[in-house]
Amino acid sequence: MSIIKSHDLAKSGHDKINWVKSYMPVLSAIEEEFKKTQPFAGKKIAMSIHLEAKTAYLATVLKAGGADVYSTGCNPLSTQDDVAAALTDYGVNVFAIHGADEETYVAHLTEALSCHPDIMIDDGGDFIELLHGKCRALGDKLIGGCEETTTGIHRLRQREAEGNLDYTMININDADCKHLFDNRYGTGQSTLDAIMHTTNLVVAGKKAVVAGYGWCGKGIARRLAGMGAVVIVTEIDPVKALEAVMDGFTVLPMDEAAPLGDLFITATGCKDVIVKRHFEKMKDGVLLANSGHFNVEINKDDLLSLSVKNEERKPSIEGFTMADGRILNLLADGRLVNLAAGNGHPAEIMDMSFALQAKCLEYLAKTPNLEHKLYSVPVETDKEVATMKLAKMGVSIDALTPEQAEYLFVE
Ligand SMILES: NC(=O)c1ccc[n+]([C@@H]2O[C@H](COP(=O)([O-])OP(=O)(O)OC[C@H]3O[C@@H](n4cnc5c(N)ncnc54)[C@H](O)[C@@H]3O)[C@@H](O)[C@H]2O)c1
């Protein structure tokens, strides 16, 4: 059973899935292995993750490994209806429609959990919150799950600290083969890609303000600089701020950056990063985009309260006209712009993130009695994925001689 927009859209969804598949060789190798080993035979896997082509391919890999898969999105604007339609042809149960309102979005998550999953994938923590709340009864068979992103990890850490985490979770985000590549290069490239194709405006020469110099912010700032933007970074962490200074960027508080910027990109995972007093000082025509997980970084209510008019100027661009005539442009409704107004990360990057997911889900399937806590991805799994990726890229590296290993105390 599935809830999708329309199966008539499936053709382009299949094209998208087939395209990314041919650039995800590590996940393809794991798929071949899973076809033989069937690690998920008899198991139900529920997935709440941005429902686009790379994720759809991951769902088919899990299916090939014997799982019964129940897939939903983790943000109503990142769901691609054609991909959702195509995924049903693989025998995956899909519950997701692009642009669903909050109530429908939660109903879709609940539908996916209604299978009483053995294993789950979460992206941002919406599944885990439901499983601790009104969907608690649906988690009765759950061996554990994997969390994909920084914001979800924050929510899990908070639960763990409060002694309130009732499930086993694996922290995919903090594995090196995830955040070093996905958060940095993936978000860096795809955020700019989405902004450029949505606005059709130039990057070179713009003053771009990047809020947050974590893994995502670093990637975004570096790509902006590479394309000729003048980059200003805002931070709350002195170490990260210092790193941004040494990387050659101007660091300012948002209050000072607000009147200077032409383009603002938030990537903090925090709320109210850009609010009323900042909007009041901004230049006419500024672009406001968010790449953090939730649409809380740019305060849309403040924009609405200040504006005399708001209208769609182009798909995924809403213009807010201020009383003095300035227009501030919010992209993708303040939701993560690279997925809500773009195609998300490049396939080659998600190859590593989803190889980690696949390997950790396999580990959960084999290891049913783990504690209710947040586990790290084992270092060996990180190294295995990196080794596979290098091999697929045709890159060789050196190995320690026995004498070197002894010198470095490596076993
Ligand atoms: N768009 C995507 O595809 C994508 C991909 C990965 C992660 N994410 C999301 O992006 C967000 C950031 O992830 P990350 O991995 O870079 O996290 P991170 O923890 O590495 O970096 C966040 C940075 O923001 C800073 N910060 C926090 N509050 C701030 C504020 N009010 N003003 C300025 N700076 C502030 C922190 O000090 C930190 O340096 C999270 O919500 C994460 O889930 C999005």
pLDDT tens track for 18-66: 999 999 999 999 999 999 999 999 999 999 999 999 999 999 999 999 9
399 falls within a domain: no
- Ligand 1 center from residue 388 Cα (angstroms): 28
Rounded to the nearest integer, the mean pLDDT of the chain is 97
Does residue 226 lie in a domain region? yes
Residue 278: inside a domain, yes or no? yes
pLDDT reported for residue 389: 97
Whether the pLDDT of residue 214 is over 90: the answer is yes
Residues 220 and 160 in one domain: no
Residue 213 and residue 98 in one domain:
no
Ligand 1 contact, 267 CB (< 6 A): yes
Reported confidence tier of residue 358, pLDDT bands at 50, 70, 90? very high
Question: Hey, which of 55, 122, 147, 183 would you mutate to test ligand 1's pocket, going by the most ligand atoms within 8 Å of its Cβ?
Answer: 183
Query: Ligand 1 centroid to 115 CA: how many Å?
Result: 33
Q: Write the residue with the smallest CA distance to atom 18 of ligand 1.
A: 214
Question: Stretch 371-380: mean pLDDT, rounded?
Answer: 96
Q: Where are the alpha helices (DSSP H) in 65-101?
A: 81-88
**pLDDT surpassing 80 at residue 411:** no
| Cα end-to-end span (Å), the chain | 51
Identify whether residues 139 and 40 lie together within a single domain: yes
Give residue 410's pLDDT: 82
The reply to whether 194 falls in a domain is yes
- Answer yes or no: do 284 and 354 share one domain: no
269 Cα–ligand 1 center, Å: 4
Using alpha carbons, select from 129, 88, 105 the residue that is nearest to residue 96.
105
* CA–CA separation, 130 and 150 (whole Å): 18
Domain end among 274, 309, 340: 340
**Does any domain span residue 63?**
yes
Report pLDDT digits (tens) over 252-301.
999 999 999 999 999 999 999 999 999 999 999 999 999 999 999 999 99
Is residue 406 included in any domain, yes or no?
Answer: no
Asked if the structure places residue 410 within a domain, the reply is: no
- Ligand 1, atom 41, lies closest to the CA of 269
> CA angle at residue 376 from 372 to 379, to 5 degrees?
145
Nearest atom within ligand 1 for CA of residue 50: 3
**Same domain, residue pair 213 and 355:** no
| pLDDT, average across residues 382-390 | 97
Protein residue with its CA nearest to atom 6 in ligand 1:
183
Cβ 299 under 6 angstroms from ligand 1? no
Q: Which atom of ligand 1 is nearest to the CA of 218?
A: 16
61 and 193 in a single domain? The answer is: no
> Tell me: the pLDDT tens digits for 176-205?
999 999 999 999 999 999 999 999 999 999
Residue 375 DSSP symbol: E
Question: Are residues 309 and 351 both part of a single domain?
Answer: no
**Ligand 1 centroid, distance to 266 Cα (angstroms):** 8
Q: Is 274 in the pocket of ligand 1 (CB under 6 A)?
A: no
For the segment 348-374, the average pLDDT, to the nearest whole number, is: 96
Binning pLDDT at 50, 70 and 90, where does residue 78 land?
very high
Is the same domain home to 293 and 370?
no
Nearest CA to ligand 1 atom 15: 215
- Residue 57 included in any domain: yes
Q: Give yes or no: residues 251 and 372 share one domain.
A: no
Q: Write the residue with the smallest CA distance to atom 39 of ligand 1.
A: 214
pLDDT band for 1, please (50, 70, 90 cuts). confident
Q: Does residue 217 line the site of ligand 1, with CB under 6 A?
A: yes
CA proximity to 289, closest of 213, 191, 202, 206:
191
Residue type for 168, please? T
Mean pLDDT of 161-171: 97
Task: Give the distance (Å) from ligand 1 centre to CA of residue 319.
Answer: 25
The answer on 114 and 18 residing in a single domain is yes
Å from CA of 62 to ligand 1 middle: 29
Contact, 383 vs 26, CB < 8 A?
no
251 and 268 share one domain: yes
- Give bridge partners of residue 375 from the DSSP assignment: 170
Mutate to test the pocket of ligand 1, among 153, 185, 293 (most ligand atoms within 8 A of CB): 293
CA distance readout (Å), 391 to 24, 61, 165, 203? 13, 20, 38, 35
Distance 213 CA to ligand 1 centre (A): 7
Q: What's 64's domain CATH number?
A: 3.40.50.1480
Task: Please write down the HEC assignment for all residues of 305-331.
Answer: HHEEEEEEEECCEEEEEECCCCEEEEE
Task: List the domain range (segments joined by +) for residue 229.
Answer: 185-340
Burial class (CB in 10 A: 0-12, 13-18, 19+), 375: middle
Burial (CB count <10 Å: 0-12, 13-18, 19+), residue 133: exposed
Residue nearest to atom 32 of ligand 1 (CA): 235
**How many folded domains does the chain comprise?**
2
Do residues 167 and 197 both lie within one domain? no
Distance 1 CA to ligand 1 centre (A): 36
Average pLDDT of the segment spanning 311-330 = 98
For the CA of 273, the nearest atom of ligand 1:
31
CATH number at residue 249: 3.40.50.720
Ligand 1 midpoint to CA 341 (Å): 19
CA distance 146 to 292: 19
Q: What is the pLDDT of residues 81-94, one digit of tens each?
A: 999 999 999 999 99
Q: Measured at the alpha carbon of residue 130, what is the angle toward residues 129 and 133, in degrees to the nearest 5?
A: 90
